[in-house]
Chains A and B, each alone.
Chain A
Amino acid sequence: DAGITQSPRYKITETGRQVTLMCHQTWSHSYMFWYRQDLGHGLRLIYYSAAADITDKGEVPDGYVVSRSKTENFPLTLESATRSQTSVYFCASSAGQGVGEQYFGPGTRLTVT
């Protein structure tokens, strides 16, 4: 399917477990982003990537790891999940070159028990 997809859509995990959220886009966009959305905080940027093998921290990177070996994929890993990481996670992509518009995936709702 064309566009940007995330998997899984829903995930329940236990404190201390490692969890990986997947993001895949079919537009060959250079930029990809991970956000978390929490009540009262809006959207907060976790990590972003300008191209394959280039990643950088956003506003709230602690406890998260990213990689980008291929342009189309940008997985987000919680190495040891904590309850404070319970949130809705959104992946987004943009074409770069100063265009600015980001296109969002449908989100992953993660619950850490």
Chain B
Amino acid sequence: GDSVTQMEGPVTLSEEAFLTINCTYTATGYPSLFWYVQYPGEGLQLLLKATKADDKGSNKGFEATYRKETTSFHLEKGSVQVSDSAVYFCALRPLGNTDKLIFGTGTRLQVFP
């Protein structure tokens, strides 16, 4: 069945460092792909999305490109801030007529000043 695999965390970075969080998926056809962020004590918030191959989603300095050939949707940011410390979830919406999402296990990012 469809699945999402994320890199293990925590990812620990200094402020202004470059961030990459890897996400790969297994799915039939061309699912929609999402990144969600969860700040401490809060629910998940949609960060960005891409709905077809080669689409680039972007928001708040974060980017991810839908790569069909490598079945990947890696999250990147050129210069992280302490305020980016959170848990990041990659997710896919399988083909079909429901809005169910399949989530990865999440990657914790810790940014130090």
Is B45 in contact with chain A by the CB < 8 A criterion?
Answer: yes
Contact with A along B68-96 (1 / 0, CB 8 A): 00000000000000000000010001000
In the complex, which residues 13-43 of chain A have their Cβ closer than 8 Å to any Cβ of chain B?
Answer: 31, 33, 40-43
- A100:B97 contact, CB within 8 angstroms: no
- B43:A45 contact, CB within 8 angstroms: no
Contact with A along B27-46 (1 / 0, CB 8 A): 00000101010000011111
Q: How far is the CB of B89 from chain A (nearest CB, A)?
A: 7
- B89:A103 contact, CB within 8 angstroms: no
Chain A contact residue count (CB 8 A cutoff): 25
Q: How far is the CB of A28 from chain B (nearest CB, A)?
A: 14
In the complex, which residues 55-110 of chain A have their Cβ closer than 8 Å to any Cβ of chain B?
Answer: 58, 90, 92, 94-96, 98-107
Report chain A residues within 8 Å CB of B42.
Answer: 106-107
Out of A41, A101, A107, name the residue touching B34 (CB < 8 Å).
A101
Report chain A residues within 8 Å CB of B97.
Answer: 98
Q: Which 7 A-B pairs have the closest CB atoms?
A: A104-B43, A42-B105, A100-B93, A94-B99, A104-B44, A43-B103, A31-B99
Residues of B within 8 A of A (CB): 32, 34, 36, 42-46, 49, 51, 89, 93, 97-101, 103-106
